[in-house]
Structure 1
């Protein structure tokens, strides 16, 4: 096997430093992210500090932010009510989204220890996804939580982790943005997807320092192992 050409970390950083991105463009990316994620207060403060104008009226972010917050706090019923107030047709157009919120409600009931209420609600939820094998499989996975005394130590602990709430929150946020004819993910997320794809393609030809998903918080570049 021919060994790939290797670019040193020093050389790669030099090449990166030669790429100039204006502060104005960076500020637009940050503002786009804050707006997409619904961070109204942060967007307002960022606008004051940088003069960067948002692409939408920041008052429109309040509803999305409140919905996401209620989901992240485990108050699913409140989030459903808020969604219906914001867009009464959203669930009609996206029944899977409604199911995922109700599934999260079931998870919250199980986590709280309300076994009887959770079982009764699970039966209702079973009727909701009747005939849909994919949703039934998702429900079966949640139902398996009933068999564990300590949910945090079970093989399904990911269902009761806060990341599960955040996943549902992101799905709801994305659906709302789509109905409002806005991009359902921030430009930063789009850029990162393109970056990882380009790194994967370039890695077929040369060995170079990469930005990994694990190193995103620090921005540190690392060399991956040669593929055998």
Structure 2
């Protein structure tokens, strides 16, 4: 359990807390605090809308992260387009979409729907100011302008960096919670609970695999 908590602290970028926790619990683990801080700085840049900075820093860290992950790069570029629209830089947004996004959409048809939805923001640049986000007709477009969109892309990039560094794409604790939730639903569907003998046996087996 200590190892699971330590892993969560590292993945979430809490390097000081991870070091203190390892010392307090006697876990024999070494971490690169500088690397963790760089990962957190990149994540923060995306969450703040500084996409160009994030892309530059990722390429300085490891160019293969984006070179080998076209969907992630496309999502970062889409976010860059959104930020240009948010700043009302329409000409820059159109140029960026033409030069960077349209060719990728032509090569990868699965990207086109996201590109078309994002381009629709050009027709409604003040969608948030006009409070159209509550209108079901505009909600999918307005969502792109929310902070949640930045956080979503930031988490995707964070996972890719973790994977490039030989770590899990998410913390073992989050994976365990997701697995236990799935297992609980399966038990309920079978008419069992974790208080049943069979339910306890399943839960014990899950914990042994972590």
TM-score range, shorter chain: 0.7 to 0.9
Cα pair distance change 1:137/1:174, threshold 3 Å: same
TM-score, normalised relative to structure 2: 0.78
* Contact 2:76 2:153 survives alignment (8 Å): yes
Alignment check: 8 A CA contact 1:110 1:145 kept = yes
Q: Which of 84, 88, 92 is the equivalent residue of 2:67?
A: 92
Structure 1: runs of 5+ lacking an equivalent? 1-24, 210-228
Contact 2:84/2:90 (8 A) holds in 1: yes
Normalized per residue, the structure richer in helix is 2
Give a deviation string over 1:156-189, Cα, whole Å, max 9, x none: 2211111111111111111111122211110111
Instruction: Give yes or no for contact 1:40–1:65 (8 Å, CA) kept in 2.
Output: no
Is 1:186 the counterpart of 2:162? The answer is no
1:139 matched to 2:107? The reply is no
1:70 aligns with 45
Mapped partners of 1:178, 1:149: distance in 2? 36
- Distance, in Å, in 1 between the alignment partners of 2:156 and 2:181 is 22
1:148-227 equivalences in 2 (<5 Å): 148-152=124-128, 153=133, 154-155=138-139, 156-206=141-191
**Offset at residue 40 of structure 1 (A):** 2.6
Q: Which moved more, 1:135-144 or 1:36-45?
A: 36-45
Q: Which structure would you say has the larger Rg?
A: 1
Q: CA deviation at 1:59?
A: 2.8
Distance 1:55 1:200 in 2: 37
Whether contact under 8 Å (1:29, 1:188) holds in the other structure is: yes
User: What CA distance in whole angstroms lies between the structure 1 residues aligned with 2:125 and 2:189?
Assistant: 48
- Quote the residue 1:22 is aligned against: none
TM-score, normalization: structure 1? 0.72
| Offset at residue 61 of structure 1 (A) | 0.6
Distance between the aligned counterparts of 1:51 and 1:73, measured in 2? 37
